[in-house]
Amino acid sequence: MSQAERDGSTGGRRGKRFLSPSQKYEIWIALLRGECTTREAADRAGVDRSTIMKLRAVARQGALDALAASRPGVKAGGKDPELAAAEAEIARLSEALKEMAVRLMLHEGKDRWG
């Protein structure tokens, strides 16, 4: 029996191992700080190097998306003041249009509409 057979490895490929979000975060932080290389991180976590590379790409993109969405001085989840003003204007104009339609109907009579 060879060493590979005893270890249960299949030609250098590792079996599926799922990392928790906190494990992924710790790996990403260690890579950012330069505490380990991609190979070392993969060995410590027991995953393939491509998994670590994908983790880095996803973490980077997630950080960029979060930074792009954040606006200084605006509460998270708060409504944009310009959007609120526009919605109020739409509501005001809708009510005015309904009122004008009623007045026109009363003024010209129902027969002319039909």
Burial of residue 111 (CB within 10 Å: 0-12, 13-18, 19+) is exposed
Q: Which residue, chain included where needed, has tokens 């993969």?
A: 42
From 67, 69, 16, 85, select the one nearest 45 (Cα to Cα). Answer: 16
What digits encode the pLDDT tens for the residues 75-103? 656 677 888 899 999 999 999 999 999 98
What digits encode the pLDDT tens for the residues 45-76? 999 999 999 999 999 999 998 888 877 766 65
Q: Is the pTM of this model over 0.75?
A: no
